[in-house]
Amino acid sequence: MMQLYMTPGSCSTGIHILMEELELVFGANILNLPKGEHLSDTYKAINPKSTIPALVLDSGDVLTDFTAIAWWLGSRYPKARLLPQNPVEQAQALELMNYVCSYIHGQGYTRIFTTDKYLMRDEDKEATQAKGRDIVAEGFEIIAERFTGAEGYLFDHFTVADAALFYVEFWADRIDLRMPMACQNHYDIMCRRPVVQRVLAEEGYRLNISQDF
């Protein structure tokens, strides 16, 4: 049985959603990041990078990157259509996921949530967090221009890219960071998906969307 190493409410939530969408049977292993459980020797033996998510496959192989895991799930289970159907759109989906994970998350939210890592002086904390918010806002504006799906998804149906975008939208909602209308609409649509509702409930969160179900 596959094993997913995750932290509720983190980027791993996007992978959790994809695996539940596929109705996969897997073990959910919770890591408490504030307590440093991702730095333990036990977890480092699985993922030396100490990052989440990590997915241990039935074969014993380990995937330790959001985009890599999402791409593998989409490729391994093609009937679920988690990847766009043509090669250009597949590449665009990978591009969008990389942008979300490396820029919006990796450059923006890290300055908001893990500010101390960026500080040379304590008095720079507020400016560092403000820079993070600016990066996230810029990222959302760029993503908002990329929507092509008539149903409010990034493509013409739900894909792995939507799961990636959702987790940073979820964070924006939690910290009251305003999103462009296209992203807010996407977030609301995602929150209506039964799997998303179930995953967030399993992870201990309540939804807060701008429109009623």
CATH architecture for the domain at 2-80: 3-Layer(aba) Sandwich (3.40)
Please list the residue range(s) of the chain that carry CATH number 3.40.30.10: 2-80
Convert the pLDDT of each residue in 67-118 to its tens digit: 999 999 999 999 999 999 999 999 999 999 999 999 999 999 999 999 999 9
Convert the pLDDT of each residue in 176-194 to its tens digit: 999 999 999 999 999 999 9
pTM exceeding the 0.75 threshold for the entire prediction: yes
- Mean pLDDT within 4-12: 97
CA 148 to each of CA 122, 142, 143, 154: distance values in angstroms, whole numbers, following the listed order:
43, 13, 11, 6
Query: Residue 212 pLDDT > 50, yes or no?
Result: no
- Rounded Cα distance, 104 and 50, in Å: 20
Please list the residue range(s) of the chain that carry CATH number 1.20.1050.10: 87-193
- Rounded Cα distance, 204 and 99, in Å: 27
Q: Higher-confidence residue: 212 or 34?
A: 34
Query: Which residues face 54 on adjacent strands?
Result: 5
Q: What is the CATH number of domain 87-193?
A: 1.20.1050.10
pLDDT value at position 213? 31
